A and B are shown apart, each in its own frame.
Chain A
Amino acid sequence: MKRKIIACEVFKPYLEQIFLRLPKEEIDYLEIKQHNHPEILANHLQEKIDVITDVDEILVLYGLCGNAILPLIARTIPIRVLRVHDCAAVLLGSNKAYQERFEGNPFKRYHCFSYGDKEEEYFSKTSPEYRKIADQYGEDNADYVYEMLYDKFSAQVTYIRLGLEGENEQLSRHEPGYYSVIDGHLGMLEKILKNDPDSTDLVLHPNEHFEGVYDYQEVIKTVKNGVL
């Protein structure tokens, strides 16, 4: 089966690990953190999808991601997506692990190696992002943003560890206890790449659309167009 793969850059280091075991495939990566603007991400994804021809399937390594995938249209080629809320479920290896970690827990902030020092996820008073805001809007405003975006959510940031080189160094940048470290699993990513029948995915065919279910099991479903 011929396919094209589009993926969020969050998966890049993990896919590179997987491709040490599986045949390497070319991946078109989109910049990380676009889920903050789901409509923009949806447009970017659709633009990428619409120029693909001569394949049997387009594998889009995204989940709901703030509902960014809901508007996607499979014009002539089916689109396979991850049946998850976000990348944390993928890196934890299953929706079950994700539910165990996050259901009933309002502190859903998580971090992983590929987020690196991205804005908001790593917003501390020594970060370049803090400095940028302080230089542009004053330290008083930077302190306010820090309090609203960082301090409030700083309790129990989950760090999903997958055994990559560099993870320990990243963890050591914060004071002990800042992260609650949990070991993830790349099984979900491997299964979707291997077309495993047990894969946590969903295929959108032409004349169908996605609908959010928003639980921890089904998460998303497909519905025939024109059906209410």
Chain B
Amino acid sequence: MDNPILNELVICVTRGKVKDVDRLCREALDSGINAFDVLDHGLLLAMQGVAERWKLGTVFIPEVLIAARALNAGLAVLEPHLVSNTMKPKAKVIIGTVKDDLHDIGKNIVALMLKSHGFECIDLGVDVAPEKFVEALKNSDAQVICMSALLTTSMIHFKEVIEAIKAAGLRDRVLICVGGAPVTETFALQIEADIFESDAVTFAERLEKRLA
């Protein structure tokens, strides 16, 4: 979608220009552009570009953080136009970084993208013990659990969470997704997770398709 406001929005998200992102989102809506188009062809397009450059190693964590922060500012403007009182969230997702791990950049981007795609997120934060995941699952009608870790020393806790969910008799009720830089598809298969995702930015789309 070639629109000068959206083109400028992509640049401003990438450059972390929070105030300009706020302004441009409002301008886009005022000009009659649908909020979903502003989201898809402005905010998310920018984030996909940053994610590609991150994978290639041409930008680093600071740039990813800066872009995500700007995206969040834009999302705050778009959100009232994306949801209505009659709209149910696509699904409820419990998300957290596993025990002994404080890293949450990827997790926060996943949560942001899930929100952007109409999911409701229950964010448990970081250093989340297995029993906390189970408790959150018991106390909600969440259909999905997303776990992340950045440290190989934390990866052992993924299986603990899955075993705890099984022991609580809840395994059939929930889709379990795992991600984080050291996580691999092979590892996900070994621990019997349902989905492995290496791309925080595109995960929400993939989940949408899986649940459809």
Which residues of A come within 8 Å of B, CB atoms?
Answer: 36-38, 40, 64, 66-67, 70, 85-86, 102-108, 119-120, 133, 137-138, 140-141, 144-145, 148-149, 152-153, 211-212, 214-216
Write out the residue numbers on chain B whose beta carbons fall within 8 Å of the beta carbon of A105: 100
Given contacts A37-B57, A102-B153, contact A137 B102 (CB under 8 A): no
A120 adjacent to B181 (CB under 8 Å): no
B187 at the interface (CB under 8 A from A): yes
B18 adjacent to A140 (CB under 8 Å): yes
B65 adjacent to A85 (CB under 8 Å): no
Alpha-carbon separation in the docked complex, A67 to B126 (Å): 21
Write out the residue numbers on chain B whose beta carbons fall within 8 Å of the beta carbon of A120: 61
B102 adjacent to A153 (CB under 8 Å): yes
Alpha-carbon separation in the docked complex, A214 to B159 (Å): 11
B102 adjacent to A141 (CB under 8 Å): no
**B146-171 interface with A by 8 A CB criterion:** 151-153, 155-156
Alpha-carbon separation in the docked complex, A149 to B62 (Å): 8
What number of residue pairs across chains A and B have CB atoms under 8 A from each other? Answer: 76
Beyond contacts A106-B127, A141-B18, A216-B153: 18 other A-B pairs, Cβ-Cβ < 8 A, are A38-B181, A38-B182, A64-B182, A66-B181, A67-B182, A67-B184, A85-B152, A85-B153, A102-B153, A106-B99, A106-B102, A108-B153, A137-B62, A141-B66, A145-B62, A145-B66, A149-B65, A212-B152
Given contacts A66-B152, A214-B155, A215-B156, contact A103 B57 (CB under 8 A): no
B105 at the interface (CB under 8 A from A): yes
Which residues of B come within 8 Å of A, CB atoms?
Answer: 15-18, 57, 60-62, 65-66, 69, 99-102, 105, 126-127, 151-153, 155-156, 181-182, 184, 186-187
Which residue of the partner chain B has the closest CB to A123?
A: B62
Write out the residue numbers on chain A whose beta carbons fall within 8 Å of the beta carbon of B16: 137-138, 141
Alpha-carbon separation in the docked complex, A222 to B200 (Å): 30
A141 adjacent to B69 (CB under 8 Å): yes
Closest CB of chain A to B175's CB: distance in Å? Answer: 23
A-B pairs, 3 with minimum CB distance = A67-B182, A214-B155, A145-B62
Query: Looking at the complex, which one of B15, B17, B187 makes contact with A212 (CB distance below 8 Å)?
Result: B187
Closest CB of chain B to A80's CB: distance in Å? Answer: 19
